[in-house]
Amino acid sequence: MSAIKVTQVRSAIGSKPKQRGTLRALGLGRIGRSNVLPDRAEIRGMIARVPHLVEVSPAGDAQNHSEDA
């Protein structure tokens, strides 16, 4: 299964509580923090809720685990 790397690039300060919860569910919470997640419809839907706060890139052959920057 393919994977994607999701990186938080903007602060969640001032965002709605549901958006902050979505960031936490994606395994993010601080600017610069990244997480490698499976490329599934559920994850893509969560990313669609916060596209202005995150950056998505292909993970390549990285393992499915958190990567703190």
Q: Give the domains, in start order, of the chain with CATH numbers.
A: 3-62 (3.30.1390.20)
Would you say residue 32 has pLDDT above 70?
yes
Would you say residue 62 has pLDDT above 70?
no
Would you say residue 66 has pLDDT above 90?
no
Q: What does the block give as tokens for 18?
A: 């549901």
Chain center to CA of 25: 8
Query: Residue 57: what pLDDT?
Result: 96
Helices of type H across 1-69? 17-25, 41-49
Would you say residue 67 has pLDDT above 70?
no
Q: Each residue of 5-26: pLDDT tens digit?
A: 999 999 999 999 999 999 999 9
Whether pTM > 0.85 for this model: the answer is no
Q: By the 8 A CB rule, do 68 and 16 touch? A: no
